[in-house]
Amino acid sequence: MLKKKIENALNKHLNAELYSSYLYLSMAAYFHSQNLNGFANWMQVQAQEEMIHVMKFYSYINDRGGQIKMMPIEGPPTQWKSSLDVFEGVYKHEQLVTSLIHKLVDLAVAEKDRALQSFLQWFVDEQVEEEASADDVVQQLKLAGTTGPGLFMLDRELKQRAFTPPADTTE
């Protein structure tokens, strides 16, 4: 059984992960409107990954006897200045999510909840990958520029990204 303090924190984070998916879908829609379908694909894959995170938290709360509490989700931005602006936003958002995960780890340690600590380790590791992936595109955009042939080459590259659910999505 989850302590109420932990249950509330996990529900809050579940909803933060839902917002992440919502944000990335908004970014995908922006890229579609700019005829940058590779960038849109990258964001759609990212949105799917975030939904995997949502379901991991959902299952964990249920498995530990907690109650899921769905909360209102704030509408994400819908316009950006450039592709670089979008990906700098992605990188900043992933840094925020990392800090939220770290706060959950701190709570798990403080509450001596070993099962939660174990569960969260996957997310700690995942956030390293998430931040690196976003920063990689930021750096490529800085090199390629936000208009012209470099942008279109990167768009083609990002179109190749495919969603691959992790093997342990049933947890």
The tokens describing 19, both together, are 């917002």
Measured distance CA(123)–CA(101) in Å, rounded: 7
**Contact predicate 47/25, CB 8 Å:** yes
130 marked ligand binding residue: no
Is 50 known to sit in a ligand binding site?
yes
DSSP string of 98-159?
A: HHHHHHHHHHHHHTT-HHHHHHHHHHHHHHHHHHHHHHHHHHHHHHH-SSSHHHHHHHHHHT
Measured between alpha carbons, how far is 142 from 150 in angstroms, rounded to an integer?
Answer: 10
Is 94 within any annotated ligand binding site?
yes
Q: Is 140 part of any known ligand binding site?
A: no
Known binder of ligand: residue 160? no
Rg (CA), the chain: 17
User: Angle, to 10 degrees, between the axis of helix 37-63 and the axis of helix 149-158?
Assistant: 40
Report residue 74 CA to chain centroid gap.
Answer: 15
Q: Which residues are part of a known binding site for Fe cation?
A: 17, 50, 53, 94, 127
Q: Which residues are part of a known binding site?
A: 17, 50, 53, 94, 127
